[in-house]
Amino acid sequence: AQDDDQISIGMSFQEMNNEYFIVMREALESAAKSIGAEVMYTDARHDVNKQISDVQDMVTKGIDILLLNPADSVGAEAAVQYAKDQGVYVIAIDAQAEGPIDAFVGSKNYDAGYKAGQEMAKDLNGEGKVAILDGIPVVPILERVEGFRAAISEYPDIEIVDVQNGQQERSKAMSVTENMMQANPDLDAIFSVNDTGALGSLAAIKSANEDIKLYSVDGHPEAIEAILNGDIFQATSAQFPRDQVRIGIGIGLAKYWGAEKMPEKIPVPVKLINDENAEGFSW
C-alpha cells in the first residue's frame, strides 16, 4: 500500500510489561530482520482507546501489515476498520478482534485451561478443595477458566471453593492469594489464569509456608524454573508466543503478496509442562 518497496510491519501490543509479549516483540524483530522489513510497535497499556490512536499513528507511518494484540476485542474494531480502510492487512494475535480482520492467530485457550485442570485432578487423586485466581475478563482468559471448570467437573469430589481476581498482576495476585488462604485454610490447589498471577500466588504460598499446589497457563520462564524447583508450582499449559507472531507475519505476507485462499483462524496448540518435561523448555 505504500510507495517504497520495503515491507513495513507494525504491531500494537495490549501491554508490554510481561515477558510473554516481550518474547513476541523479539520474534517480531528477528523475523522482520530476516526478510528485511521495517518494524514498529506500540504499547496500549491496557487502554483500547490508546490502542486505536497507536494504530492510526502506525498506519500514518505507512505500515503494510498490522499485527494487532487487542486490549479489548470489541473496542479494537475501530482500529481494525481504520487500518483496513487504509489498505493494511490486519492479523489479530493472541486474542480475537472484531471487524474485518484478515486472520486470527491464538492459542487454544480452552485446551490450556482443560489440560491444567486435568493435571491438577490427577495430582489431587480426584478429590480436594481448589480455587481459581481469575484475571482480566477478555475472551482468552474466559476460555481458560471455562476449560478448567470443564476438566474439574469431571471429578465430583473436587470442589471449587473460591474465585478471586488477581488481575494477572504479581503483587495484586500475591495479596489476593493471601486472603484466599485465610478464607479457606484447607485449600489444596489453585488454578491461575496466567503465570504472572501464579508467580504472585507462589510468593504468597511460600511466605506462608503452606502446601498448596499451583497450576497455570503460559510457560513463563520463571514458572518453568519454579516447576523445576518442584515443590509448589506443578504445571503450566505453555503457549507459543513466538509461533503466534511468526504465523501472523506469514499470513500477513501471504495476503500482501496476493494470496486469497487463506485460513481465517489459526489455533496454536498448547503444551502442558510439568516437572517431567520442563527441563529445557523455553518460549
Partner 1 sequence: MTGQLSDKIKNNNFKELLKKPEVLTFAGLILLSLFMSIFTDTFLTGRNLVNVARQISINGIIAVGMTFVILTAGIDLSVGSVMAFSGTMLAAGMADWGLHPVLAIFFALLVGGLFGLINGTLISYANMPPIIVTLAMMEVPRGLALLYTGGYPLSGLPSSFSVLGRGYVFGFLPVPVLIMAVVYLIAYILLTQLPFGRYIYAIGGNEEAVRLSGIKVKKYKIFAYVISGLTAATSGIVITSRLMSGQPMAGTGFELDAIAAVVLGGTDIAGGRGSIIGTIIGAFTLGVLTNGLNLLGVSPYVQRVFKGLIILLAIYFSSKKKK
> Taking a C-beta distance cutoff of 8 angstroms, is the pair 28, 58 a contact?
no
CB of 3 to partner 1, least distance (A): 11
21, 89, 104, 215: which one binds partner 1 (CB under 8 A): 21
Q: In whole angstroms, give the CA distance from residue 54 to residue 50.
A: 6
User: Given the C-alpha cell 475501530, which residue does it identify?
Assistant: 78
For the chain, strand residue ranges (E) read 8-13, 38-43, 65-68, 89-93, 103-107, 128-134, 158-165, 189-192, 213-218, 233-238, 265-268, 271-273
CB atoms within 10 A of CB 119: 22
* Backbone φ, ψ for residue 32 (5° rounding): -60, -40
CB of 241 to partner 1, least distance (A): 13
30, 125, 153, 175: which one binds partner 1 (CB under 8 A): 175
Give strand pairing partners of 130. Answer: 160, 189
The nearer residue to partner 1, 20 or 155, going by C-beta atoms, is 20
Task: Mark the segment that binds partner 1 (CB under 8 A) among 87-95, 200-208, 247-255, 263-271.
Answer: 200-208
Which candidate, 83, 85, 79, 116, places its Cα nearest to that of 97?
A: 79
At 247, is the secondary structure helix, strand, or coil? helix
CB of 116 to partner 1, least distance (A): 22
From residue 132 to residue 171, the character string flagging contacts with partner 1 as x (rule: CB under 8 A) and all else as - is: ----xx------------------------x-xx---xxx
From residue 65 to residue 104, the character string flagging contacts with partner 1 as x (rule: CB under 8 A) and all else as - is: -------xxxx-xx--x-----------------------
Task: Mark the segment that binds partner 1 (CB under 8 A) among 11-19, 107-115, 237-245, 261-269.
Answer: 11-19
CB of 74 to partner 1, least distance (A): 4
The nearer residue to partner 1, 32 or 121, going by C-beta atoms, is 32
Q: In whole angstroms, give the CA distance from residue 24 to residue 26.
A: 5
- For residues 47-64, one letter each, b for 16 or more C-beta atoms within 10 angstroms of the residue's C-beta and e for the rest, the string is bbebbbebbeebbeebbb
The nearer residue to partner 1, 123 or 210, going by C-beta atoms, is 210
> Does the footprint of partner 1 cover residue 62 (CB under 8 A)?
yes
Q: In whole angstroms, give the CA distance from residue 23 to residue 52.
A: 23
Residues in contact with partner 1 by the rule CB under 8 A: 16-19, 21-22, 25, 40-43, 45-49, 52-54, 56-58, 60-62, 72-75, 77-78, 81, 136-137, 162, 164-165, 169-171, 174-176, 178-180, 182-183, 185, 199-200, 203, 206-208, 221-222, 225
